Structure formats: structure tokens, C-alpha cells
Chain A
Amino acid sequence: MEERRVRATPGGADDARARRLLYQTLRVPEVGILLALVVAVAVFALVNPSFVAWANIESNVRTIAFIGIVGVGQAMLIIAGEFDLSVGSVAALGAVVAAILMSDHGLPIPLAVIAAVALGLLIGLVNGLLTVKVGLPALIVTLGMLFAARGLAYVISGGTQVYPLPDGVRTLSDRVLGLPMAIWVFVVLALVADVAMRRSGFGRRLYAVGGNREAAQLAGIRADRVKLAAFMLTGALAALAGVLVMAQLGSGDPQIGMNWELAVIAAVVVGGISLRGGVGSIAGALLGVLFLQVVSSGLVVSGVEATLQPVAVGTVMIAALGIDQVRHRRFGG
């Protein structure tokens, strides 16, 4: 009916095409968070043009590279219907273990990094087995692991930074084509994960298991294995992110990854991933991570009082979710 009315006016065909295009665009789930991001960048740049200065952009991208790497794993896990609260602590443990192995035990840097990532993988396996096979709630299991892994990081580091590290560690934070290594690692991981989620059988199984576990099992998908794999991937990526932060700082600090767990979950949810599972995309999750970083940084650059910043971040998060909900109700997607 709408289309008939449009056709009745001069130039109606063009209008109809434009409306259809707009409608289809607004159906894309990531559009909501992308619009919010554009608006946020525009507002902060208007308030203070130095917000879009290269140093600030690079710093923000570098910061989201670390959280983004964790976000990739967390997004997959949440899409599969689970979540992991221990990611920040696993990052700290990975960083501290790698630092000690390379500095106190003389392990070659690549081996120390591999050992740290393997440790993350194993922690993910434990989280996964206790959640998926034993049937304990992920909230309790990963909350317990949050304390255990952080505690271990403090114990084995003696509560202090593992310092100094071998000089070769700096290659992990060197610039490649003008950007720090962490950003490239993040970009490559994000692209691979996005393609995997959209195109591969593993991605489809994650959506199927998170959307309806029983139906997925009836369709022959081994739901437990899929979830286990997602837990392990999340643990490994958390440890990798911790190692990359360690390389940037030049020390294994047990405080690395503090509060990442909630920041990552909040960001991926803002990016359109449903906590109930089965819905969302890697691109959306990473836009969510970027959006929250932009808001946090923008509030500082705009000179907002430090005490008001958490209030503003929370309000903007809820507003972004609300706008996306309205978009979803009106246009679907």
C-alpha cells in the first residue's frame, strides 16, 4: 500500500527504490550500532576536533585490539549460548606465565608465547568441561576461574610485575606497516572469525547450538563439542591478548585484563549479540567494542568530569541498545 502511494507521485519509482534500499539497509543488524558509532564520533569531534587526531585514533584502536581479540572469542561463545567471565584473569595469567617462562627460565620467546596460549586453551577446556559436561552454570564456573586465575597470576608473580623481560619481546609490539603488531593480529583474527562465522560449518554449528540446542542435536550436531571448542578458543584468545599487552608494557603485570570480562560482554551485547545465544555477528561485536571505547575516550577528550563518565557510559550503552531494539522491531533483521 505504501508503494502504491509512492508510485502515484512524480518520480515515485526513484523514491520507492530509495525507500526499499533504506529499509533493506536498516534490516542489517549491525546498522544500529554503526549509526550510533558514527553519531558518537561526530559529536565528540565537534566538541573537540583533536578527538580525531591520529594519536588518539591509534591509541583507541590499540586498546580495542586487546579487548577485541578477547571479544572475538567471547562473541563466538555467547552466540553458542554460553559466556566466560574469566577472560581478564586468563589474560593476566597468560601474560605472567609467558613473562616468567621467558625471563626466569630462559625459554625462547615464541615457545613462551605458545605455552601461554596453550594454558589459555586448557583453562577454556576446564571451563567448558565443567559447564557443558558436568552441567555447572557457566556463571559459577567462570566466576570461580576468574578468581582462581587472577590469584594464580599474583602467586606466581609474587604480586608484582615480572620485569625486566628479554629485549626480543619488543618485536611483539613493533610497528608493521606503520601500525603496532597487536592491531594487525586483531584485524586478521577478526576477519578470519567473521568469515568463519558466516561461511564455515563451524560457524553455522555455533549459531545452531546457541539458537536451539535440542534442534541442533536432532540435526546431528554435537552440541557439547561445539561449545567446548568455543570455550577453548575464548581462553586461548584471552591469553594471547594478555601476552600482547605484556609485550607493549615490557612487563608481565598480574593486573593486566582487570575488568575486561564485563567490558567485553557489555560491548558484544551492545554490538547486537544476544545473551540467549544464536544471534549476532563478529562484525557487530567488534563495532560494539569500538563504540564503547569511542564513548570512553570521547568523554575524556570532551572534558566530562571523571565522576560523571561512568554514568554517561552506562546511559549511552542503554540508549544504543534501545535504539537498536526500536530498529529491530520496525525493520526486523
Chain B
Amino acid sequence: MWEQDHGRRPWRLALLAIAAILALVTAAGCGSSSDDGDSAATGAQTTATTADAGGEKECSVEGKKIQFVAPLKSNPTMQVMAAGFEQRAKELGFDATVLMTDDAEPQRILALGQQAMTQGSDGMVIPPYDAALYPFIKQASAAGIPIITTHSSVPDSEDLGMKQDIHPDPAQYGAEAARAIGEQIGGRGTVAVTQGGFNPIENAAAEAFTAAMKEQYPDVKVLKSQVEGFEPAAAISKAVSVLQSDGSIVAAYSTTGGGPRTWAGAADQAGKRLVIIGMDYTRPNLDLVRSGKVYAVVAQPIYEEHADAVDALKAAICGEPVEAEVSAESPLVTTDNVDEYYDLLDRTGT
């Protein structure tokens, strides 16, 4: 019977199935945590207030048009960046717009950047996470638009003409994590290191961690870095294998945001207590810190970085000197200061 009338029934079935999938997914999507995605996308268009917070009015940027051009509008990390930009821009009186794409495709970012240039821009903040964005940064700078790049550093070999490159320093927070772990384990034992993948930032953090540990705590053995990947179940399994490879492991450092969960899960499965430091102050990670399963997470200053980038734009527009490269501090979040970061997440609605 199926074969005889397959000209019609399959389509009806397919349509029914698609409708059912859409209904289910829509039901899940309605009221989910993503309801703030559109607001980030449509742009802030914040109305400038006043620019005289410090009481000095020698240079006003009131009404000056600036844009934050970035990928992944629904990504919580990107939303925190956008919030830092918007908040500071509002305080200074800029006419600020957030232009973000759905995905990480650089061509779409370029299109948004071109759109901003066409409509008029007095300055832009751009995370240069992909080299494909470099020509645009160079073009905009050459057109006299002050550009501040954030979060990902631009290699020294690239002369893009931006006013400032502000980014966290993986070597700094890698070394800081080594100091904290070394102290917690009393300068003895073995430490495992994992990365989400091999990339320049994670490599730098892992290398700095190892070097700093060797220098400050020479009796601590640091294992060679392993790749935990980004699939959570496989990452935990890999971490358990790492724990089995050396019975003297007493601590773990991960250079990726999934690391706290990976190592807390592995320690649970292996029945071990570890001093764990990982990346990023997401809510699940903060809960792991608060519960004591994870000692600390590295807080890349994504909010402050983007607020500072707006300050740098103001300075550039006003013709004041701007430091070409700024390394943003990445403090550790432990039980002592975890509440500050819950507050920050609450403030930015993420």
C-alpha cells in the first residue's frame, strides 16, 4: 500500500513530521533563556545622555556614532562583551549601536562593518577573532575611523592601523593559575593540564602555566597538555584516563571553559579530590566553585575590556593619546569573590 501511493503520502507525512518538530522545538524555545538574543542583534541605539560624569566637558562625544561589531549574538560571553560596550557608551553619551551576527562567519561581520561605515561611524570596537577581519580593520582605519580591537590579540606582524588592541594575556592568567595551584597543593605532587584544542591562546596559557610552575614550584611535576575537546562526555572520559595515567595527580588546570565541569566530573568518577582551575565565569562554573568542587575559574575581563574600549574610543576621538596595546588582567574567581561574579551575570542578564 505504501509503495502504491507514495506520490502523496510521504509528503503529507513529511509535512506533519516537520510541523511536529517545529511545534516541539518552538515550545522548548519559547521562554527559554534565549529571549534576549534579538535585543542584542537589533542594536542598542542607545540615546546619549550626558558625557560629563567626571565633571569635565572639554571634549564631548555626545551623539557621536560608535558601533560594536561582533559575532554570535546569542552567545552569553558575547552578550557580556556587548553589555560592557553599551553600558559605558551610554554613560559617556555616545550614540552606540551593537551589530552582531547569528554565527561566527567573518563575511557576515564584514558586511555589518561595511554597513556601519556607510551609515556613518565615529569609531568601532571589533573583536578580531579571525584574520579575515584584518583587511576591514585596515580599511576602516585608513578611512579615518578609530578602531579598538578587543579580546583576541592582533599579531605584531600585522599593521592594521587600529588605535588600541586590548586583550587578556593568556600568559598572565596561566602563570597566575600555576601560582594558585602550587600554593594549594603545598608545592608537591603532579598537575594535569588539558586544552579544548590546540590554538595560539590556549597553547600560550598552557605553556605559561607549565613555565611558571617550574619556576615557582620546582618539585611539582606538570604533565604534558592533553586535548579534552568540546564534547562534554568524551572530555570527562579523557580526563579520567589522564587521572589513571598517573596516580600522583593532585591538581588539574584546563585552558577551556568546559574544563571545570570536565575535571569536576572526572574527579567524581575517579573518587579523587583535586585542586581544579578552569576558565570562564559561567553560572555552572561559578556553582562548581561555590560548591568547592572547583578551586577557581579564570575570569577573563570581558565586560571591563569592552567598557575600557569605549573609553579608548573617546580618547581617540578627542585626540588624546591612546596606548597601542593594553593587556587586561584576568583575576581568579574563588569562593572569596564568587558573589561579585554572580552579580555581574545578573546585571548583564546572562
Contact = CB atoms under 8 A, between A and B. Distances in A.
A9 interface: no
A270 to B, nearest CB: 17
Interface string B51-83: 000000000000000000000101110000000
Interface in A77-131: 88, 93, 96-97, 100-101, 104-105, 115, 118-119, 122-123, 125-126, 129-130
A45 B140 CA distance: 59
A56 interface: yes
A300 B226 contact: yes
Nearest to A115: B24
A22 B297 CA distance: 57
A227 to B, nearest CB: 11
A134 B10 CA distance: 8
Interface string B72-98: 101110000000000000000000000
Contact of B28 (A122, A130, A156): A156
A59 B236 CA distance: 8
Interface residues of A, number: 69
Interface residues of B, number: 60
Nearest to A120: B21
B237 A59 contact: yes
B33 A55 contact: no
A155 to B, nearest CB: 6
B31 A104 contact: yes
Interface stretch (B123-131, B181-189, B227-235, B299-307): B227-235
Interface string B94-110: 00000000000000000
B350 A59 contact: no
A160 B237 CA distance: 22
Per DSSP, chain A at the interface is helix
B247 A100 contact: no
Interface string A289-333: 000010011001111011101000000000000000000000000
A63 B36 contact: no
Given A125-B13, A159-B76, A301 B241 contact: yes
Contacts of A51: 244
B231 A152 contact: no
A162 interface: yes
B74 A155 contact: yes
Contacts of A260: 231
A186 interface: no
B3 A224 contact: yes
A326 to B, nearest CB: 30
Given A105-B27, A129-B17, A258-B229, A301 B237 contact: no
- Which of B18, B20, B32 has the largest number of chain A CB atoms within 10 A? B32
Interface string B203-225: 00000000000000000000011
B252 to A, nearest CB: 13
A55 B233 CA distance: 15
B170 interface: no
B282 to A, nearest CB: 7
A198 interface: no
B265 interface: yes
A297 B235 CA distance: 11
Contacts of B258: 255
Contacts of B283: 163
Interface stretch (A11-19, A27-35, A246-254, A278-286): A246-254
A161 B237 contact: no
19 contacts: A59-B269, A60-B241, A63-B233, A100-B32, A101-B28, A105-B28, A105-B31, A122-B17, A123-B21, A126-B18, A156-B25, A156-B29, A158-B33, A160-B350, A161-B282, A162-B33, A255-B230, A255-B231, A306-B227
Interface of B: 2-3, 6, 10-11, 13-14, 17-18, 20-21, 24-25, 27-29, 31-37, 72, 74-76, 198, 224-227, 229-234, 236-238, 240-245, 247, 258, 261, 265-266, 269-271, 282-284, 287, 350
